Chains A and B, each alone.
Chain A
């Protein structure tokens, strides 16, 4: 079997398209590359959707935490504490079994027990909490003069937030937010390792990597492949976020621009 045939058979295997049986013996490098790459579709899907959704919730949570009224502040603080204070791993497990028992009561929750929705909800809430904390910190460090200048110009209320506070907040938070995004992509590998089952062996990259490692007893090939894919993904994320960072900082003189310092994190 040539490599092209393998790619045709397995490139979309993680979505259930193509050859149904996974390779069982005589594993080739090509098969490992194709299947692990196919699993990356899930990682990208979880990361991108959770990040896009989480961004908006994070802004709301940050505003809530900075609010003066305790009715807004307390729930936001608790939300952030719960999701940042407990391991994501446990959150996945808990959510899975929570959805399972809810499914017994209300059939409406049936799709939540599948990874594509259930795990997405957990990742969404989790990243919202982490980025909410980042945005809150940025919100606290907005230069006083900016807000005073806005007041002097008679900009107030929603338009002051939209045109002054929010862009500055993003600008200040962006380097930390980039780290959070990278970190979230790494965290997507936990999905199929926690409670969520991979139906019909449609798993993510780590699922296939560990499949190969289990079958061949040789971790030195699949895991480096996985690491390679993730490094590529991280580079893409850095590129995209760097471009946005440039745009957010374009009005500042060259030397005041905030550089992104990458601090890879380990586990959430």
Chain B
């Protein structure tokens, strides 16, 4: 039962993370091209810091850091009369009321909290990559389009929302679809974040943790669980490829790009 649940977990993570990452990315990109300097610095800093730090070290580090940040924030609000230092040597100590989740809360709260942290981490990391893609896409929208909008008397805000945003997706989609593929392939890292995802179950099923499982009545089935996972991911990738191709075709329609021209000239 847990296994099927974990497949849903992965799908849910993808379904929640992708829009969240686009939101983060949109915010980052608009901040990075803002006219107000501090806001621009925040946007650019976010993009380059997160993109610069490599690999799963980020995932391992970030969850603990986020967790400690939340607990510290709650600690300073909830227990103002706590006089001991928070870092006692190697331990991170906050008052009991600031623990997240509360040690008295039921199991599912703990699991949901872990899942929430995972989503936040994924969204933050992928948001930075998305921000970079969208930033490039916004700059790729032909200048003439914005100028035309201005000539029609649109305000800056109107030009941004009505002209720039609808048009930028064509330029952003190749980069975004790349990111989507990477995101799919990053989901097994959930297991590192302590969420019971499919990798966790594939490891648990069919064997004890000791390496001496060759004397089982059945063979070592974990190989087949992982084979199934491999096929699952391959299928998922293939389906995404096909769908994204369609979306790209739909988006290029009527755009001022080579693809759009080719579609226009193609015999109807």
Contact = CB atoms under 8 A, between A and B. Distances in A.
Contact of B60 (A85, A91, A94, A223): A223
A90 B223 contact: no
Interface in B42-69: 51-57, 60-61, 64-65
A215 interface: yes
B234 A85 contact: yes
Contacts of B203: 93, 195
Contacts of A93: 199, 202-203, 226, 229
Contacts, number: 113
A189 B214 CA distance: 28
Interface string B211-230: 10010000110110011011
A97 interface: yes
A206 B59 CA distance: 12
A219 B61 contact: yes
Interface residues of A, number: 44
A266 B186 contact: yes
Contact of B186 (A81, A86, A87): A87
A227 B53 contact: yes
A104 B238 contact: no
Interface residues of B, number: 42
Most buried by A among B51, B185, B233: B185
Given A85-B233, A94-B226, A219-B65, A104 B219 contact: yes
Contact of A94 (B56, B87, B230): B230
B180 interface: no
B223 A100 contact: yes
Contacts of B87: 218
B207 to A, nearest CB: 9
Given A82-B234, A267-B186, A90 B57 contact: no
A101 B220 CA distance: 6
Interface stretch (B106-114, B149-157, B187-195): B187-195
A86 B129 contact: no
A217 B226 contact: no
Contact of A227 (B57, B184, B189): B57
B61 A223 contact: yes
A109 interface: no
B55 A189 contact: yes
Interface of A: 27, 81-82, 85-91, 93-94, 97-98, 100-101, 104, 186-187, 189-190, 193, 195, 197, 206, 209-210, 213, 215-220, 223, 226-227, 230, 234, 264-268
18 contacts: A86-B234, A89-B185, A90-B230, A91-B230, A100-B223, A104-B219, A187-B55, A193-B192, A206-B57, A210-B60, A213-B64, A217-B90, A223-B57, A223-B60, A234-B54, A264-B51, A264-B52, A267-B189
